[in-house]
C-alpha cells in the first residue's frame, strides 16, 4: 500500500513523531524515496520531519523519467497538481526562469503521468509545510552528465539566495552497502568525476541516479552537508536524507 492510500492524519502524526532529523536546521535539499509506501514510510517521515512547520516559498521536485524524452529537462504545463489532499499551485514564474536560463529546460507534457514521484512527494509536503508553490522537473532517461551539470548550475545560481527547497527522488536498496560506501566516499572527497563513474557504471543499481547526482552537485555548489537517514526497515533507501547549511 502506498502513500496515496494514507490519510492526512496518519502522515502528519508520523511526521510530527519523527526524531532523527530534528537536530538539523537550514535544510535546503531532501533526497526522498521515489515511491513512498508501507515499507519506507517511517524513513520518509524522518526526512520530512526535519522540515515540519518550516516556510518555503518554492519547492522544486526533480526526478528521473522512465522514458527517453524528446526534451531533456521537461516541466509540465499544468497550473496546479492535485493530490487527495487538494491542489498545489505551480510557480509559473520560476518555471519560466529555468527555461530562460538554459535551453535544455522546456515546458512540455511528454513525460508527465499520474505515477510520477511528484505526487508522493507533494502529499508529504502538504503534511509538512504551510503554503508553497512547486515546480516539477523530469530528467530524460539515461541523460548524459553534461546535462546534469547544467541542471545543477542553473538551479544553484537561480535559487541560492531564495527560500527554496529542492527534492531529489532516488533509491538504493538497503542491502547495497558496498555501492553506497563508494558513493559516500565521492561525496566526502568532493570527487565529481568518480561520483559520475560510481552512479553510472554498468553495475550501479541506483534508481533515479540522474536526480541523485544532480542533488549532490547542487549540495556541493551550496557547500551543504549531506546526512543520510535510515529508520531501520529493510525497505529503507540508503540514499534518503537531507542536505543542510552547517552553522558556523
pLDDT tens, residue by residue, 232-248: 899 999 999 999 987 65
Indicate the domain borders of the chain: 3-244
Which of 232, 230, 248 lies closest to 240 in space, CA to CA?
A: 230
pLDDT of 21 higher than 60: no
pLDDT attached to residue 246: 75
The predicted-structure confidence for 85-134, as pLDDT tens digits, reads as follows 999 999 999 999 999 988 899 999 999 999 999 999 999 999 999 899 99
- The pTM assigned to this predicted structure is 0.97
**Taking a C-beta distance cutoff of 8 angstroms, is the pair 135, 95 a contact?**
yes
**Taking a C-beta distance cutoff of 8 angstroms, is the pair 228, 240 a contact?**
yes
Q: C-alpha dihedral over 237, 238, 239, 242, to 10 degrees?
A: 90
Cα angle 122-125-131, degrees, rounded to a multiple of 5: 105
pLDDT attached to residue 19: 64
pLDDT attached to residue 178: 97
**Taking a C-beta distance cutoff of 8 angstroms, is the pair 226, 179 a contact?**
no
Task: Name the fold adopted by 3-244.
Answer: Protocatechuate 4,5-dioxygenase; Chain B (3.40.830)
pLDDT attached to residue 17: 84
What does residue 101 show for φ and ψ, rounded to 5 degrees?
-80, -35
Return left, alpha or beta for 232; rule: phi > 0 is left, psi -120 to 50 is alpha, else beta: left
CB atoms within 10 A of CB 121: 28
Cα gap 103→62, rounded to integer Å: 17
Amino acid at each position: 500500500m502506498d502513500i496515496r492510500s494514507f490519510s492526512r492524519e496518519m502522515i502528519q502524526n508520523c511526521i510530527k513523531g519523527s526524531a532523527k532529523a530534528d537536530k538539523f536546521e537550514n535544510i535546503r535539499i531532501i533526497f526522498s524515496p521515489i515511491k513512498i509506501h508501507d515499507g519506507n514510510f517511517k524513513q520518509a517521515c524522518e526526512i520530512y520531519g526535519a522540515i515540519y512547520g518550516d516556510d518555503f516559498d518554492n519547492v522544486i521536485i526533480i526526478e528521473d523519467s522512465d522514458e527517453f524524452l524528446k526534451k531533456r529537462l521537461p516541466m509540465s504545463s499544468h497550473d496546479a497538481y492535485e493530490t487527495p489532499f487538494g491542489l498545489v499551485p505551480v510557480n509559473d514564474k520560476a518555471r519560466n526562469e529555468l527555461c530562460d536560463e538554459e535551453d535544455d529546460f522546456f515546458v512540455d507534457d511528454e513525460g508527465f503521468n499520474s505515477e510520477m514521484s511528484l505526487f508522493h512527494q507533494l502529499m508529504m509536503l502538504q503534511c509538512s509545510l504551510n503554503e508553497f508553490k512547486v515546480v516539477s522537473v523530469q530528467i530524460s532517461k539515461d541523460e548524459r552528465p553534461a546535462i546534469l551539470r547544467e541542471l545543477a548550475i542553473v538551479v544553484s545560481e537561480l535559487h541560492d539566495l531564495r527560500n527554496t527547497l529542492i527534492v531529489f527522488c532516488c533509491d538504493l536498496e538497503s542491502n547495497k552497502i558496498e555501492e553506497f560506501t563508494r558513493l559516500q566516499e565521492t561525496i566526502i572527497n568532493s570527487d565529481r568525476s568518480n561520483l559520475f563513474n560510481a552512479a553510472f557504471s554498468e553495475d550501479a543499481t541506483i534508481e533515479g541516479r540522474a536526480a541523485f547526482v544532480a542533488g549532490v552537485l547542487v549540495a556541493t555548489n551550496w557547500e551543504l552537508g549531506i546526512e543520510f537517514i535510515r529508520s531501520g526497515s529493510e525497505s529503507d533507501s540508503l540514499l534518503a536524507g537531507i542536505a543542510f547549511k552547517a552553522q558556523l
